[in-house]
Amino acid sequence: MKAAIVESAGQLPVYADFPEPEVGPGETRVTVAAAALSPLVRGRASGAHYSSGNSFPFVAGVDGTGRLDDGRRVYFVLPRAPNGAMAERTAVPAAHCLPLPDGVDDVTAAAIANPGMSSWAAFAERAKLQPGETVLVNGATGISGRLAVQIARHLGAARVIATGRDAAALASVGADVTIPLIADDSALEDAFKAQFAQRVDVVIDYLWGRSAQLLLIAAAKTGADAVPIRYVEVGSASGNEITLPGAALRASAIELMGSGIGSVSLERLLAAIDGVLGAAAEGKLSIATQPVPLAQVERAWADNDSRHRTVFTLGARRPLI
């Protein structure tokens, strides 16, 4: 069968023949319809992601949509290595499959599941977001950040503050307040402090780095009456490390935590994805997609446009109902 194969660390996947998957106990075979190209997929393929393995060759892709042998449409995640999502067929633990609602098409479901899960799990599982609370999304102009704004609204946030490095894109994310990350440190800290002074309950951070450091310090300086601020680190697009004075935690009620594979169980991540797919089927969440035939994987792999999610397609795709 045809697949996108990673031959060694640091090499781009190649479109070539790969052995048919052997289905073991507790597994099911999926005929793949669509598989998205996400930062997680890129990171695992390059060996840079913390959940990467070191066994080659393997098929790229961690999740996708397709059909079981009995024709049921499913979303699936984490096929058994060396199988992956970017192949004509793959072998997946049956527990890693979710039924797809009729109201969402294969490409949209494949595109929205992973980035939507990142904030849904952070809000619901880690921060325990309550209706009426205020949310700040740090890094809201990328695909995941845009969805985080939508999901915060869907889960009941009364007020959403968004930051981002692209001021023009930031204006279109649908937040109540926007803070472009283009000012000097002093001005940015003042802008953050003004928002924390009005109360921020939850921060979802896709950037880390400089902006996270300034956010945490600003939160600590304005944390009156020990009001808890649940700060959830989801991504590190701006850097893997920050310098944080210990006093920032001692002098505030900041609850600093992460969200992702390892901090949230697979069962709960799947529950988050199920919520995302259900909301998308109802038209409450949206994502821009760029479908590309899997045969063009080598050309399209470098596409990193934050405005849409590249989705590799295989065979016929079921249209939106």
In a domain, 54, yes or no: yes
- Note whether 107 and 122 are same-domain residues: no
Give the pairing type, strands 177-180 and 159-164.
parallel
- Note whether 11 and 72 are same-domain residues: yes
pLDDT of residue 108: 98
* Stretches in the chain below the pLDDT threshold 70: 47-54, 223-226, 316-321
Give how far Cα 295 sits from Cα of 2, 44, 81, 300, 309, Å. Answer: 8, 20, 21, 10, 17
- What residues make up the domain containing 21? 2-113+266-313
pLDDT of residue 54: 64
In a domain, 145, yes or no: yes
- Note whether 42 and 103 are same-domain residues: yes
Residue with tokens 């073991």, as numbered in its chain = 24
Q: Please give the structure tokens belonging to residue 109.
A: 């479901």
- Note whether 11 and 139 are same-domain residues: no
pLDDT of residue 318: 45
- Note whether 126 and 252 are same-domain residues: yes
In degrees, rounded to 5, the angle at the alpha carbon of residue 299 between the alpha carbons of residues 314 and 80 is 50
Question: Which CATH number characterizes residue 233's domain?
Answer: 3.40.50.720
pLDDT of residue 224: 58
- Note whether 21 and 123 are same-domain residues: no
- Note whether 186 and 201 are same-domain residues: yes
The dihedral of CA 23, 26, 32, 37: what is its sign?
Answer: negative
- Note whether 205 and 291 are same-domain residues: no
- Note whether 220 and 246 are same-domain residues: yes
In a domain, 321, yes or no: no
Q: What backbone torsions phi and psi does residue 250 show, to the nearest 5 degrees? A: -70, -35
- Note whether 164 and 231 are same-domain residues: yes
pLDDT of residue 317: 46
Residue with tokens 């989705």, as numbered in its chain = 311
Question: Which CATH number characterizes residue 50's domain?
Answer: 3.90.180.10
Structural domain count of the chain: 2
- Note whether 151 and 241 are same-domain residues: yes
pLDDT of residue 53: 59
Which residues lie closer than 8 Å to 128 by C-beta, 6 or more apart? Answer: 230
- Note whether 54 and 95 are same-domain residues: yes
